[in-house]
Structure 1
Amino acid sequence: MTMPPDLRYAAEHAKGFMPSGEGLALFHAALKYGGQGPICEIGTYCGKSAIYLGAAARQTGSVVITVDHHRGSEEIQPGWAHHDPTLVDPRFGKMDSLPAFRTAIAAAGLEDEVIAVVGQSGRVAGLWNTPLALLFIDGGHSEEPVTADYEGWAPHVMEGGALVFHDIYPDPSGGGQAPYRVYLRALSSGAFKEVGGEGSLRVLERVGPGI
């Protein structure tokens, strides 16, 4: 199956940092695994990757739960390279990507497929008990948040389901190393094997216990 042109256009023009090739790889991973159950995304930002996932959810009859506090990860705060001043709420002086996300998902026509959960990933994970067909980890990229996302959410990936990481850079000159270290931890656990990837995106399949 291919991604519908209107949804691909919506994804490519939404705010975010995912290259088109990686987004399409995410879409195809969600197509492959989404029919087994719900899809969960950690790190929503403005909805770019949620559109890729939502397009697959529509075709597989699945649903996407996307979790984010919408106050921005470290790398998009003021003074950092990826900061977008248009996302600052002047009333509170804080980042707020939720309005941009809602606009992007509504414009794409995916409000039935994509469900936003607004809150800290770890707090939400502590309440979660539904097996996941696919988990996409793309939240905070420093050591503490990416480790917490893995520890809180990876145990919920069903056997035969997928764990997908973004921003995996084996060479430190390419980017931060925290997601790469957690990706290696997942592989060394014996619970996952790598089955695909594109650019900095890595797709792992759960093959057993051991997380």
Structure 2
Amino acid sequence: MSSSRPDQPADAEAHRDASFDDVWATAQHFTGWLTEAQARLLHAEALAAPGTTDALEIGSHQGRSTAVLAHARRARGGRLVALDPFVDGRLFGGAATRTIFEKNMATAGVRDVIDLRMAYSTKERASWSTPLSLLYVDGKHDYWTAGDDLMWAVHLPEGGAVLVHDCYSSIGVTLAILRHVLFSRTLRYERRAGSLALFRVGRPSLADRGRVLAEMPWWIRNVGIKVLLRLRLRPVARLVGHDSPYDPY
């Protein structure tokens, strides 16, 4: 199995930055935990993915990443399937978050290329059979759900991108990566932008596996920072370079 990347349009590189700036000018104002560097990586991969095949986002929240992905897919003549159950609760907001999401997508001008499905990814996967061009995972961060979400990659072509947020930051997500990617024969790790990790469908080399292990010190640092924040020891967290009230992302 080769590790080739899907073909991309000849003019994709020339227009990538300009088109990203267009959507980021709007999307950056949507509530979310996606940095500009991470959004730029998402946009570039979604633009490079095979044209008319749908991309899949697991976990949309208020749509910061959704807008970026949908903008790029429209440029390729494709669509974005967005899966989010919009569950109730203090951290998620339920129906209110869904309302904000819809408003944000209209503001970004991308609602017409989004197929929003209020569903759990683990349940939707059981009956899914359609090919996908790209997979973005930012759903529930426990080990079992994150591991199940990685299984959507079977619907991607050779060289297809799998992007995982809060990788090497979340304990559950990282354990799922160690279990399902470190010893995988079909996914290889390339790089990351903060906690957004880029994997690609393809047979991994020893160097690819080594890159996963090389991220372990950064993961341990991030877990330590989370402990410090829970203990309200932000001054100590600053000593290791974390000057934010939020978990590393």
Per the alignment, residue 160 of structure 1 pairs with 159
> After superposition, what is the alpha-carbon deviation per residue over 1:40-94, rounded to whole angstroms, capped at 9, x for unaligned?
011111111001101110211111101010116xxxx43xxxx37xx365xxxxx
Aligned pairs (5 A) from 1:162-177:
162-169=161-168, 175-177=169-171
User: Could you tell me which residue of structure 1 aligns to residue 62 of structure 2?
Assistant: 46
Q: Is the 8 A contact 2:81 2:115 kept in 1?
A: yes
Gaps of 5+ in 1: 90-95, 170-174
Once the two structures are overlaid, the 10-residue window that deviates more, 153-162 or 131-140, is 153-162
Q: Is it true that 1:9 corresponds to 2:32 in the alignment?
A: no
1:183 and 2:174 are equivalent in the alignment: no
Amino acid at match of 1:186: V
Change in CA separation of 1:34 and 1:114 when aligned onto 2, cut-off 3 Å: farther
Query: What is the TM-score when the length of structure 1 is the normalising length?
Result: 0.81
More strand by share: 1
Structure with more relative contact order (C-alpha pairs < 8 Å, separation 6 or more)? 1
Given the alignment, which residue of 194, 199, 203 partners 1:204? 199
Q: Contact conserved, 1:168 with 1:202, CA < 8 A, in 2?
A: yes
Distance (whole Å) between structure 1 residues aligned to residue 175 and residue 51 of structure 2: 29
CA contact (8 A) 2:86 2:94 kept: no
Query: Aligned pairs, how many?
Result: 187
Name the SS for the 1:197 alignment partner. strand
Question: Structure 1 counterpart of 2:196, which letter?
Answer: L
Q: Identity over aligned residues, as a percent?
A: 27
> How much does 1:179 deviate?
1.1
Contact persistence 2:153–2:201 (CA under 8 A): no
SS in 2 for 1:189: coil
Are 1:165 and 1:183, in contact at CA under 8 Å, matched by a contact in 2?
A: no
* Residues 1:132 and 1:88: Cα distance change in structure 2 (over 3 Å): closer
Q: CA separation of 1:118/1:88 partners in 2, compared to 1, >3 Å: closer, same or farther?
A: closer
> Which residues of 2 match residues 1-211 of structure 1 at below 5 A?
1-2=16-17, 3-35=19-51, 37-71=53-87, 77-78=89-90, 83=91, 87=93, 96-151=96-151, 153-169=152-168, 175-184=169-178, 185-207=180-202
| Distance (whole Å) between structure 2 residues aligned to residue 88 and residue 117 of structure 1 | 14
2:191 counterpart letter in structure 1: G
Q: Which runs of 5+ in 2 are unaligned?
A: 1-15, 205-249
Query: CA 1:36–1:160 in 2, change beyond 3 Å: closer, same or farther?
Result: farther
Larger helix proportion, structure 1 or 2?
A: 2
**Aligned-pair distance for 1:34?**
4.3
